[in-house]
Amino acid sequence: MGGYVQLTRVLGTLLKMILKVWAYSGLVLVFCFLLYYVYGGVFAVVLLFFALTGVLYHVQDNFLFYPELPSHSRVYVPIPSTLGLPYETVQTRGSDGVLIHMYFIHQPKDRQRLSPTIVFFHGNAGNMGHRLQNCRGLYHNLHCNILLVEYRGYGLSEGHPTEEGLYLDAKASLDYILSRSDVNHSEIIVFGRSLGGAVAVDLASREEYASKIWCLVIENTFTSIPDMAKVLLGWRLLQYFPLFFYKNKFLSYHKMKFLRVPTLFISGMADSLVPPRMMSELYNNCRSVRKQLLQIPDGTHNETWTAQGYYHSLAVFLQNCRIQMEEKGDFSNKIDISGWNNVQNI
C-alpha cells in the first residue's frame, strides 16, 4: 500500500512537470509564431519594397525619355532644307566616345560669322527634326545660326539616354561649335525647352563652360525630376523618398545658385505638364545679375513659341544684353544690331 502511494505520487509529479513543460512549450511556440507573423511580415514587406524600388530605379529611363515617340523617330529625322533652311549635317563624339548627330543651320555666308549662334536642346520626346518649325522662326526673326543637338539614343545618334549622358552631349556640342572658326564665339546662346532646359542649366552652371556662354534661355522646364514625380504621380509617399532612389534627378533648382550668365525664363502660363510655378521658383533662385521672367498667358508646354510676341520678346532680351556688353566694352568687335530692330510680332 505504501509502495503504491509512493508510485502514484511520483507519476503525479511527473505528469505535472510534463504539463507545465508542455504549457511553457506552447507559450514559446505561440510567441515564436507571433514574432514570425509580425516581424516576418515586416521583413517580407521590406524585401518587397526594395525589390520594387530596385526595379523602378532601373526602368526610370523608360518613364523619362521617349526617343521613339512618335513612331519612326529613331530612323527618320526631318531635314532643315524641307523648310528652306540652309544646313550642314554634323557629328561629334562625347568624352565617352558616343557619336552625336546634329544639324548646323547657318545664316548666309556673308552674315554667318557675325550672327549669334543658338545651341538648341529639345524636349524628351521625338527628335531634333520635330523642332524645325520653331527653328525657322528663330532663324528668320533673330537672324541667328542654330546648332540643333540630338541627344544620345535619339534620332540618328548612338547610345542610350541617361542624365549624365545628356550632360556629356551638351558639353560636346558646345565644344564643337567653339571649334568652328566661322561662327561668332562672343555670342553663343544656350537654349533649352522642357527636359532640354535642365540640360542647358547644367551646362551653364559649370564654371568651365559659363564663360563661353553669352546668354541662357530656358522654356517651360522643371525644378527637378523628384519634384515632377510628385506632381505627375500625386503620391504623398514620394516626399519621404531620399534622392538616391531617383536614377535621373536633373536638380535644376539647386544649380540656379551657380548661374552667372544672363538668363531669360520663358514660362507658358497654360502649361498643363510642368507647373508654371516651377519656372518662377527657378527664376527666384537664380543668382544671375541679369535675369528676366517672361510669362506668356496662353503659352502651352510645347507650343509657347507659337504665341504672338514670342520672337519679339526674345529679340528685346538679347539686344539689351548685347548693348550692355558693348557698354562694358566686352566685345572685341562691333556687330550690327539693325537686324533686330524690326522683329515681327508672332
Residue of 130, 185, 301, 312 with catalytic role: 301
Nearest in space to 204 (alpha carbons), one of 149, 137, 259:
259
Measure the CA–CA gap between 136 and 103, rounded to whole angstroms.
Answer: 13
**Cβ count within 10 A of residue 299:** 23
Is 194 part of the annotated catalytic residue set?
yes
Residue of 169, 202, 227, 271 with catalytic role: 271
Axis crossing angle, helix 195-205 with helix 163-179, rounded to the nearest 10: 60
Is 61 part of the annotated catalytic residue set?
no
What one-character-per-residue DSSP string does 125-166 give? BS-GGGGHHHHHHHHHHH--EEEEEE-TTSTT--S---HHHH
Q: Which residue has the cell 558639353?
A: 171
Is 227 part of the annotated catalytic residue set?
no
Q: Residue 298 carries which side chain, given as an amino acid letter?
A: D
Residue of 194, 205, 224, 288 with catalytic role: 194
The answer to whether residues 215 and 264 touch, using CB atoms and an 8 Å cutoff, is yes
* Active site members: 194, 271, 301
